[in-house]
């Protein structure tokens, strides 16, 4: 409007993140974002931009480049930059410090999809072991890696009456029984590339079958820490329905209360991964492990748990990680679909290699993984070497040590055939869990624009060169 003021850049810069009224600039406009911070999906991360232009940040976090976000910002318009401060008609924009400079070094064997933020999958040939080595465990970061100091790290439990209790890492390691849980983490985008190939284009990182891993996680049960903080886990207040988790870099997600307090749900605040401190990429020094649920709920670098009537208000809970119908590709009604929590039956072929026999008698070992969400056990793995006409059962490994109250780990399986049976053939795998859930034969019926929860039969042509 015509009554808006003009501001000098020097005045704007005093409204930085330490100011009581933080401002940001976009284009030539000045916005007072004080009243937006509480509702901002990324929480107070937006304060990084306070006192200057928000644009370099939005160039990095391009989810902001939508009309919806622009409209919200317009509500906070207070004026314009004085023309004396314009250079060639524009507000000069400072370059910002790269928020990824502190990201750790990664193992060269990971297959990188994006490096800022880091998104990298495990080559499936390295998924042959029951426990996935941490160095090659897939990395799925939405933002940068916050470099946290164990001695300074605190976890706040916020109860529904507003009461808060704070725990140091030493409290969590020493004052609570440490539980060891072996559990799969699987990204909801695992095998998205297969859906794209088998159906239609999908939006999102085009993961193959390596956005999954199985690790041993150690730490106190969330349930025990909640009880200590004064939450009545035996008779929880009716109005509390969700446990929300906040990560130190701004990511957030939630799980239903029933999972959070189920003594057999095995939700833990993990301080260790495969027996050592959790590496920075995987949540050092503390992450949630919600076994049997999609990995997006296992919040890394967790520093706050909020017991609430509501789900997490984060972008990643409300506007992502949901599935819609194969036809629903225009404007899905985000509020209608529930957030993905437990995941369906999954299986994949990770590797085929020659072993034993010679010439005509050469054998090929086909191997892979099978996993189901919700703690459901894999009871059978079916393999076909004629593209699904006839089937046989693969042999599942006997697991070295499968810790936890339910089946949170994958099953590694192997199937040996004479090479002459698979030359030129398409090998297929599908698995069944103890609820007799299976996998869809093709991708089209479960197609969804974002390519979440791809779980159709995995088909791979045998290639003797590989
Ligand atoms: N937690 C935080 N704080 N930030 C994140 O970006 N990504 C989530 C989840 N927890 C994420 C997070 C997603 S989508 C996945 S698939 C898993 O972490 C990946 O865990 P990993 O990188 O240890 O494999
Ligand atoms: Mo994910």
Ligand 2 centroid, distance to 188 Cα (angstroms): 5
The token pair that represents 47 in the structure block: 């304060």
413 to 127, 244, 347: CA distances (angstroms) = 11, 36, 10
| pLDDT computed for residue 92 by the predictor | 86
Please check whether residue 317 is in contact with residue 252, taking contact to mean a CB–CB distance below 8 angstroms. Answer: yes
223 Cβ contact list (under 8 Å, min separation 6):
233, 260, 261, 262, 263, 265, 267
| pLDDT computed for residue 394 by the predictor | 98
Tell me the C-alpha distance between 288 and 246, whole Å.
Answer: 10
Return the residue whose CA atom lies nearest to atom 23 of ligand 1: 282
Q: How confident is the model at residue 41 (pLDDT cuts 50, 70, 90)?
A: low
Q: Which residues are close to ligand 2, an ion, with C-beta < 5 A?
A: 140, 187, 296
| pLDDT computed for residue 358 by the predictor | 81
Return the residue whose CA atom lies nearest to atom 21 of ligand 1: 139
The token pair that represents 217 in the structure block: 């996680």
Q: Which of 148, 191, 245, 251 to mutate to test the pocket of ligand 1 (most atoms within 8 A of CB)?
A: 251
The token pair that represents 268 in the structure block: 């833990």
Residue 242 pairs in a beta bridge with 256, 308
Q: Which bound ligand lies closest to the C-alpha atom of 119?
A: 1
| Angle, vertex CA 134, rays to CA 344 and CA 128, nearest 5 | 60
Q: How confident is the model at residue 62 (pLDDT cuts 50, 70, 90)?
A: low
Tell me the C-alpha distance between 210 and 193, whole Å.
Answer: 11
Ordered domains of the chain (ranges, CATH): 5-85 (3.10.120.10), 112-318 (3.90.420.10), 346-441+452-461 (2.60.40.650)
Return the residue whose CA atom lies nearest to atom 20 of ligand 1: 140
329 to 19, 200, 311, 325, 455: CA distances (angstroms) = 43, 11, 25, 8, 19
Q: How confident is the model at residue 48 (pLDDT cuts 50, 70, 90)?
A: confident
Backbone φ, ψ for residue 139 (5° rounding): -120, 125
Return the residue whose CA atom lies nearest to atom 16 of ligand 1: 187
Q: 3-state DSSP call for residue 415? A: strand
Q: How confident is the model at residue 68 (pLDDT cuts 50, 70, 90)?
A: confident
Average pLDDT of the segment spanning 293-307? 98
Please check whether residue 91 is in contact with residue 23, taking contact to mean a CB–CB distance below 8 angstroms. Answer: no
Please check whether residue 298 is in contact with residue 252, taking contact to mean a CB–CB distance below 8 angstroms. Answer: no
Q: How confident is the model at residue 38 (pLDDT cuts 50, 70, 90)?
A: confident
Return the residue whose CA atom lies nearest to atom 24 of ligand 1: 139
Question: What is the separation of C-alpha 156 from the centre of its chain, rounded to a whole number of angstroms?
Answer: 22
Which atom number of ligand 1 is nearest to the Cα of residue 321? 14
Q: 3-state DSSP call for residue 222? A: helix
Task: State pLDDT tens for residues 367-410.
Answer: 999 999 999 999 999 999 999 999 999 999 999 888 999 999 99
ipTM, two decimals, is 1.00
| Averaged pLDDT score across all residues of the chain | 94
Q: Is residue 155 packed enough to be buried (19+ CB in 10 Å), middle (13-18) or exposed (0-12)?
A: buried
Q: Which of 119, 140, 142, 146 to mutate to test the pocket of ligand 1 (most atoms within 8 A of CB)?
A: 140
Q: Single out the residue of 282, 281, 112, 301 nearest to residue 210, CA to CA.
A: 112
Catalytic residue positions, numbered: 40, 64, 140, 187, 321
| pLDDT computed for residue 2 by the predictor | 55
Return the residue whose CA atom lies nearest to atom 5 of ligand 1: 141
Ligand 1 centroid, distance to 101 Cα (angstroms): 19
Q: Which of 295, 297, 301, 453 to mutate to test the pocket of ligand 1 (most atoms within 8 A of CB)?
A: 295
Task: State pLDDT tens for residues 101-122.
Answer: 999 999 999 999 999 899 999 9
Average pLDDT of the segment spanning 432-447? 98
Task: State pLDDT tens for residues 146-194.
Answer: 999 999 999 999 999 999 999 999 999 999 999 999 999 999 999 999 9
Give the binding-site residues of ligand 1, using a 6 Å CB cut-off.
137-142, 185, 187, 247, 249, 251, 281-282, 295-296, 298-301
Please check whether residue 350 is in contact with residue 414, taking contact to mean a CB–CB distance below 8 angstroms. Answer: no
Radius of gyration, alpha carbons of the chain: 25
Ligand 2 centroid, distance to 169 Cα (angstroms): 26
Q: Scanning the structure block, which residue is given the tokens 């239903």?
A: 256
Ligand 1 centroid, distance to 140 Cα (angstroms): 5
Ligand 1 centroid, distance to 297 Cα (angstroms): 8
Ligand 2 centroid, distance to 17 Cα (angstroms): 30
pLDDT surpasses 90 at 93: no
| pLDDT computed for residue 43 by the predictor | 64
Query: What is 182-243 written as a DSSP string?
Result: EEEEE-TTTTHHHHHHHSS--SS----TTSEEEEEEEE-BHHHHHHHTT--SSS--TT--EE
Ligand 2 centroid, distance to 314 Cα (angstroms): 14
Ligand 2 centroid, distance to 207 Cα (angstroms): 10
Tell me the C-alpha distance between 71 and 224, whole Å.
Answer: 43
| pLDDT computed for residue 64 by the predictor | 77
Which atom number of ligand 1 is nearest to the Cα of residue 283? 23
Q: Which bound ligand lies closest to the C-alpha atom of 45?
A: 1
Task: State pLDDT tens for residues 228-282.
Answer: 999 999 999 999 999 999 999 989 999 999 999 999 999 999 999 999 999 999 9
Return the residue whose CA atom lies nearest to atom 11 of ligand 1: 141
Return the residue whose CA atom lies nearest to atom 4 of ligand 1: 251
């Amino acid at each position: 409007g015509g009554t808006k003021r003009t501001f000098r850049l020097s005045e704007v810069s005093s409204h930085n993140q330490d100011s009581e009224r933080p401002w940001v600039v976009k284009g030539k406009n000045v916005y007072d974002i004080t009243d937006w911070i509480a509702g901002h999906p990324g929480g107070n991360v937006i304060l990084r931009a306070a006192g200057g232009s928000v644009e370099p940040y939005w160039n990095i976090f391009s989810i902001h480049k939508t009309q919806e976000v622009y409209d919200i910002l317009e509500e906070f318009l207070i004026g314009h930059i004085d023309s004396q401060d314009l250079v060639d008609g524009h507000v000069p924009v400072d370059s910002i410090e790269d928020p990824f400079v502190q990201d750790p070094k990664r193992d060269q064997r990971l297959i990188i999809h994006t490096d800022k933020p880091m998104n990298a999958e495990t080559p499936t040939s390295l998924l042959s072991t029951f426990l996935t080595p941490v160095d090659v465990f897939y990395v799925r970061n939405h933002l940068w890696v916050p470099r946290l100091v164990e001695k300074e790290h605190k976890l706040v439990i916020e109860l529904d009456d507003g009461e808060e209790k704070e725990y140091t890492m030493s409290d969590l390691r020493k004052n609570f029984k440490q539980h060891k849980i072996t559990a799969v983490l699987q990204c909801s985008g695992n095998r998205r590339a297969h859906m794209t190939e088998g159906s239609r284009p999908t939006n999102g990182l085009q993961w193959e079958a390596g956005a999954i891993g199985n690790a041993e996680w150690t730490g106190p049960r969330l349930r025990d820490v909640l009880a200590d903080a004064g939450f009545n886990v035996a008779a929880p207040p009716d109005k509390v329905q969700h446990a929300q988790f906040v990560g130190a870099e701004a990511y957030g997600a939630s799980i239903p209360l029933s999972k959070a307090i189920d003594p057999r749900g095995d939700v833990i605040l993990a301080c260790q991964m495969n027996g050592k401190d959790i590496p920075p990429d995987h949540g050092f020094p503390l992450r949630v492990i919600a076994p049997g649920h999609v990995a997006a709920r296992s919040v890394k670098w967790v520093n706050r748990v909020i017991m609430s009537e509501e789900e997490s208000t984060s972008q990643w809970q409300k506007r992502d990680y949901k599935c819609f119908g194969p036809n629903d590709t225009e404007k899905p009604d985000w509020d209608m679909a529930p957030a993905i929590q437990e995941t369906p039956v999954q299986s994949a072929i990770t590797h085929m290699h020659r072993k034993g026999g010679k010439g005509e008698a050469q054998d090929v070992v086909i191997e892979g993984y099978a996993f189901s969400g919700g703690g459901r056990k894999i009871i059978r793995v079916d393999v076909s070497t004629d593209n699904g006409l006839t089937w046989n059962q693969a042999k599942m490994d006997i697991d070295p040590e499968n810790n936890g109250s339910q089946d949170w780990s994958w099953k590694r399986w192997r199937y040996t055939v004479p090479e002459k049976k698979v030359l030129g053939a398409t090998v297929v795998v599908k698995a069944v869990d103890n609820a007799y859930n299976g996998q869809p034969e093709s991708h089209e019926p479960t197609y969804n624009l974002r390519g979440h929860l791809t779980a159709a039969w995995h088909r791979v042509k045998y290639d003797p060169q590989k």
